[in-house]
Amino acid sequence: EDKVVQSPLSLVVHEGDTVTLNCSYEVTNFRSLLWYKQEKKAPTFLFMLTSSGIEKKSGRLSSILDKKELSSILNITATQTGDSAIYLCAVELLNAGNMLTFGGGTRLMVKP
């Protein structure tokens, strides 16, 4: 059975801290790994990773995939209260209609 596991489950930090969120997966026919941010409503797309070792960056957020270790990390530097959200990792499978299998998410709270 395909499985995506995220850690930690939750995290509380103060503004300015750097955080690292983890995602590991056990799936057949891996195609890509995606990160989403969910505040109160819709999950919003952050990154899609297909190649190992290539960092994707958007402002203070960055992510990298390690296909050998079957994992990915999402880094957030200089955190702000607006970064408080649930961060979801999902794995897209080949030949499965691009279906996504989601992890349980990491709930991040950034305190002022």
Partner 1 sequence: DAGVIQSPRHEVTEMGQEVTLRCKPISGHNSLFWYRQTMMRGLELLIYFNNNVPIDDSGMPEDRFSAKMPNASFSTLKIQPSEPRDSAVYFCASRRDRGSNQPQHFGDGTRLSIL
User: Can you give the binding site for partner 1, defined by CB under 8 A?
Assistant: 32, 34, 36, 41-45, 48, 50, 88, 90, 96-105
Residue closer to partner 1 by CB (options 8, 104) is 104
Question: Contact at 8 Å (CB) between 22 and 88?
Answer: no
Closer CB to partner 1, residue 25 or residue 105? 105
Nearer to partner 1, 97 or 112 (CB): 97
Q: Closest distance between partner 1 and the C-beta of residue 9, in Å?
A: 11
Task: Provide long-range contacts, Cβ within 8 A and 24+ apart, for 44-53.
Answer: 46/74, 46/87, 47/74
Can you tell me which residue has the tokens 């790994």?
33
